[in-house]
Structure 1
């Protein structure tokens, strides 16, 4: 089963976290990603730029609306995602508990439903 471990946390600048403060976390995330890869379960990992670099697009009103900034104004923002392929939710929970981001934010674990690979959509189970 494929799961996305969605990292939600305060933006470092908004929380007063310096680049120096981030150095040990970068090392911890590097080790975490390498452990997922070594276990053969890592599908992808992405750490996102700050939310203030976000652009949102919608056609909800029937016309194209493009806006700078994130859609939701919240204290915690989507910071990145690890996509893993593990047998079940218990295994996903075990890996999420090892994620360095859990020390200062929230890890949302969401199962994947459909994936586009090799030119076609595939339902995931």
Structure 2
């Protein structure tokens, strides 16, 4: 697969759910880094790629925000615990997996922090 035949042209927008397509890690990076694509979430898993070109629906957005609020309430009771919500952040194991989940909770020490000059994603192989 290459950007010459974009994956989003291959996905049916009918009633059938979108499918994962065979792809390479480089295909995943091309979609992730393409500045012309807006609101794209890229998921890569061991040779398969799924590109979510749509926006969240109302129900999905409500549930996602509800979980974030519940986690805030719950963890505010434990002030000694280090917790960070990194939902929407790109998580990658280069050459193997990559995703941008709606909700990511880091609990404990070594919560990832962005540093100038580094990519704005979390490398899970570190």
Indicate the structure whose relative CO is greater, using CA pairs within 8 Å and at least 6 residues apart: 1
Q: How does the TM-score come out when normalised to structure 1?
A: 0.30
Q: TM-score, normalised by structure 2?
A: 0.30
Q: Answer 1 or 2: which has greater strand percent.
A: 1
